[in-house]
């Protein structure tokens, strides 16, 4: 990303700056969180390390990390709003998150993506080498839509 753009945008982990309406509006139409309730988005923000990317005070992107800061981290809900794509913001955002000082001791990072494998591979993400060792459990008491 060129220096001019870096001066135009900034990244913050200050949750008070986050625009939960923008985050919810984007996520509820995404393939991975379609129709997610606002209350669920708010709870996920409260319990994650969150990153916002801003132009002035306008939020243009979001990501969060679920982590113990030592053994594992799950990168979730990464997005740049459509009008701001194609400028290198996504690459800069992912680099910033992966280089974030408090996350440097994390041994294993995970993420899920349907269409951004190329982006994440450049930062060392790979397909699972032993997917049979990874399991998941869906809570039947919670709407999975």
| CA–CA dist 135, 115 (Å, integer) | 22
Helices (H) and strands (E) in the chain, counts: 5, 5
Q: What are the angstrom distances between the C-alpha of 22 and each of 16, 41, 60?
A: 14, 11, 9
At residue 124 the predicted structure's pLDDT band, cuts being 50, 70 and 90, is very high
Q: pTM (2 decimals)?
A: 0.90
pLDDT at residue 140, rounded to an integer: 78
Q: Which residue has the higher pLDDT, 71 or 3?
A: 71
pLDDT digits (tens, 9 = 90+) for 2-43: 555 667 899 999 999 999 999 999 999 999 999 999 999 999
Does the pLDDT of residue 143 top 80, yes or no? no
């Amino acid at each position: 990303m060129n220096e001019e753009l870096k001066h135009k945008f900034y990244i913050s982990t200050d949750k008070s700056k986050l625009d939960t309406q923008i985050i919810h509006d984007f996520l509820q139409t995404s393939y991975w969180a379609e129709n997610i309730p606002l209350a669920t988005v708010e709870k996920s923000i409260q319990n994650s390390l969150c990153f916002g990317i801003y132009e002035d005070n306008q939020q243009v992107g979001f990501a969060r990390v679920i982590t113990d800061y030592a053994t594992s981290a799950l990168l979730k809900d990464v997005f740049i709003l459509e009008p701001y794509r194609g400028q290198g913001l996504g690459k800069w955002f992912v680099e910033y998150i992966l280089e974030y000082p408090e996350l440097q001791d994390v041994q294993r990072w995970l993420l899920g993506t349907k269409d951004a494998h190329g982006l994440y591979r450049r930062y060392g993400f790979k397909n699972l080498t032993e997917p049979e060792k990874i399991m998941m459990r869906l809570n039947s008491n919670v709407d999975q839509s």
